[in-house]
Amino acid sequence: MGGVTSTQQHSSATGRADDGSAQDPDPAPEHAYGWSWLAGVVAGLAGLALAELVALLAPAGAPLTAVGSWVIAVAPAAVINFGKEVLGFADKPILLAVVAVVALAIAGASGRLEYSRRGLGAIGPVLLAVIVIITVSRQADAGPLAYLPVLVGSVLAYLILRTLITTLHRWDPRKGAPAQGNRADARRGFLIMTGVITGLSILAGGVSRVRAGATAAARQARSRVRLPAATTPAEPIPEGADLGLDGLTPYVSDNATFYRIDTALQVPVVDPADWSLTIVGMVEREITLSFDDVLALPLSEHYVTLTCVSNEVGGNLAGNARWLGFPIRDLLARARPQSGADMVLSRSVDGFTAGTPLEVLTDPDRDAVLAIGMNGEPLPPEHGFPARLVVPGLYGYVSATKWVTELKVTSFAEDQGYWTPLGWSAHGPIKVASRIDTPSRAVDAGRVPVAGVAWAQHTGIDRVEVRVDQGPWREATLAETVGPDTWRQWTWEWDAEPGQHQLMVRATDADGTTQTSVEAPPAPDGATGWHTVDISVN
């Protein structure tokens, strides 16, 4: 084996030496400069393509769109009108193309700089990264993740540039390149790398444009949705449901900060025009509804607090919103479930499923809805646009299917939801829980308001008690609430004396069940134990 390899190497080296004068690249300076520009452009293209690809996770961080929107914002009206009138529908793609060409020109110049002096080529990626970071920060929906694409992209661009320029130096005799054979290898390496990286970048860029185009279209479709007014509006929030204390969780959660649990790597984007809900399985009549069908139904609004089974004692995986939707029991009544069915397996476009007791969904006293609105807006994409289920009293994993597209009437014997084979209980009623939101750190001695939230969805909270340092339980004051399906704020005045203290809370539901002190982890059916915080009082 070794002999064969060495012979091959030998003959190939000889082959090159034989007709070396014809094949020796020996680039003249103009050519080397040209190749260095090309290296810069290719590295820039790779960085841009990767950034656009990563931006599929955080659309606000898509560099071309961010810079393009900024250009539109600062361009004089005359230029914008020229774009609209002369270029018409093509104005946006042309703008993005111009931005891309300018960026690649800067990247090309960086290649030339890196060729003359190692490290100098970082100027381009850094400059472009700064511009993109500034323009991304202007995007309304830019979270921390929105800066990831530009960081990953610019780092990759510079790494590729360095590699290409190093190879180019090995090819160039004036850069102290070694023997001719190695120069020929370097030349081949440079050309192959340039070609492969360009190909991959075009592929990645194409994929991300197609996907981003679909996302943008669906987001636009969402922005065009006009929710009808509720035929049955929600109960008004009573005065005094939100105590407005510093550090206390608001009674109604913001859509933007509402907790999120998804098994999907990417938020599914569904165009409502392509969406439908089908009721299948053990039913007398299969039915299918389009989004317009749902909009035409008499809708009602309900405040319901969602909770995740994975919430630890004292955790934040719960949120309260006003949901606009249609009662699932009325949908099921149209499909007429057959006897023997005891479960509805709801399925999402992303493959997630939840198994919900049929009895809960058909209960005339429980407002389980097919929801399309959240706090007065169409569902945010992250929370299931265009439609999801909301079922008071059950953990989300057995009830709250987002991007829901099918309800299969079936049985627990026959089917199971996504999480059940992974070690979670098939049934998931929410356990009574309470949490201390404030204080959460050191306080000054004296009167200190202790406050938090407690929930026992669908049963309701009757009592919350607090105790200090294992002392007697003291009854907290409960805030008002819309009803039993939401959490309730509570507060208690503490005469805090200097030193280290421990605060504990427990709640009792309207059935008289008090939270158990027995500590259990979230799996398989929800955590238990009393939330405890250690506070130093100065």
Ligand X SMILES: Nc1nc2c(c(=O)[nH]1)N[C@H]1C(S)=C(S)[C@@H](COP(=O)(O)O)O[C@H]1N2
Two tokens, residue 389: 């289920």
CB of 395 to Mo ion, least distance (A): 6
Using the minimum distance from each CB to Mo ion, give the nearer residue, 129 or 394.
394
Q: What is the nearest approach in angstroms of ligand X to the Cβ of residue 419?
A: 7
Site residues for ligand X, 257-276, by CB under 6 A, read: 258-263
Closest approach, Cβ 509 to Mo ion, in A, equals: 20
C-alpha to C-alpha distances, 63 to 147, 274, 356, 424, 536, nearest whole angstrom: 9, 29, 42, 41, 47
Q: What is residue 317's DSSP assignment?
A: -
Least distance in Å: CB of 261 to ligand X?
Answer: 4
Shortest CB 318 distance to ligand X, Å: 9
Closer Cβ to Mo ion, 32 or 394, answer by number: 394
Stretch that binds ligand X, among 10-18, 134-142, 173-181, 392-400 (CB under 6 A): 392-400
Tell me if 408 contacts ligand X by CB under 6 A.
no
**Residue-by-residue DSSP string for 28-96:** -HHHHHHHHHHHHHHHHHHHHHHHHHHTTT-GGG-HHHHHHHHHHHHS-HHHHHHIIIIIGGGHHHHHH
Q: What's the CA gap between 453 and 489, in Å, rounded?
A: 4
Tell me which residue has its CB nearest to ligand X: 396
Distance CA 235, CA 482 (A): 6
Cα four-point dihedral sign 204, 210, 213, 215: negative
The single residue among 115, 397, 418, 490 that binds Mo ion, judged by CB under 5 A, is 397
225 sits near Mo ion (criterion: CB under 5 A): no
- Cβ atoms 137, 66 nearer than 8 A: no
The least CB distance from residue 308 to ligand X, in Å, is 3
Distance separating alpha carbons of residues 120 and 228, to the nearest angstrom: 59
| Cβ(394)–Cβ(360) below 8 Å | yes
308 binds Mo ion per the rule CB under 5 A: yes
* Per-residue tokens: 229: 């007014």
Rounded Cα distance, 331 and 431, in Å: 28
Q: Which of 303, 403, 492, 494 binds ligand X (CB under 6 A)?
A: 403
Our CB check for ligand X shows the closer of 167 and 375 to be 375
Q: Among residues 70 and 258, whose Cβ is nearest to ligand X?
A: 258
The mark string for 231-260 relative to ligand X (x by CB under 6 A, - otherwise) is ---------------------------xxx
Q: By rule CB under 6 A, what string of x and - marks binding of each residue 369-388 to ligand X?
A: --------------x-----
Q: Do residues 427 and 479 touch, judged by C-beta distance below 8 A?
A: no
Q: Which does 302 bind (CB under 5 to 8 A by kind): Mo ion, ligand X, none?
A: none
Q: Which does 357 bind (CB under 5 to 8 A by kind): Mo ion, ligand X, none?
A: none
Q: Which is nearer to Mo ion, 207 or 261 (CB)?
A: 261
Distance CA 455, CA 490 (A): 11
Give the Å distances, CA to CA, from 247 to 31, 255, 385, 442, 449. Answer: 65, 18, 30, 13, 10
CA dist 343 and 416 (Å) reads 9
CA nearest to 429, candidates 457, 387, 450, 404: 457
Cβ proximity to ligand X: between 400 and 468 the closer is 400
Of 115 and 291, the one with the shorter C-beta distance to ligand X is 291
Residue 421 neighbours by CB under 8 Å, 6+ apart: none
End-to-end CA distance of the chain: 78
Is 308 one of the binding residues for ligand X (CB under 6 A)? yes
Stretch that binds ligand X, among 16-24, 337-345, 395-403, 486-494 (CB under 6 A): 395-403
397: contact with ligand X by CB under 6 A? yes
d(CA 437, CA 202) in angstroms, rounded, equals 50
Closest Cα partner for 490 from 526, 521, 466?
466
Q: Which of Mo ion, ligand X, none binds 348 (CB below 5-8 Å, type-dependent)?
A: ligand X
Site string for ligand X, 320-349 (x = CB under 6 A): ----------------------------x-
33 scored as a contact of ligand X (CB under 6 A) = no
Say what the alpha-carbon torsion angle 367, 372, 374, 379 is, to the nearest 10 degrees. Answer: 150
Number of residues located near ligand X, criterion CB under 6 A: 19
CB of 445 to ligand X, least distance (A): 39
User: For Mo ion, what does the binding mask look like between residues 244 and 263, x meaning CB under 5 A?
Assistant: -----------------x--
| Nearest to ligand X of 201, 356 (CB atom) | 356
Q: Which of 378, 396, 484, 522 binds ligand X (CB under 6 A)?
A: 396
Q: How far is the CB of 368 from ligand X (least distance, A)?
A: 14
Distances (CA, A) of 213 to 207, 238, 349: 10, 44, 19
Nearest distance, CB of residue 401 and ligand X, angstroms: 5
Smallest gap from Cβ 528 to ligand X, in A, equals 17
Residues of the shown chain interacting with Mo ion in the complex, contacts defined by CB under 5 A: 261, 308, 396-397
Residues of the shown chain interacting with ligand X in the complex, contacts defined by CB under 6 A: 258-263, 306, 308, 319, 348, 350, 352, 383, 396-397, 400-403
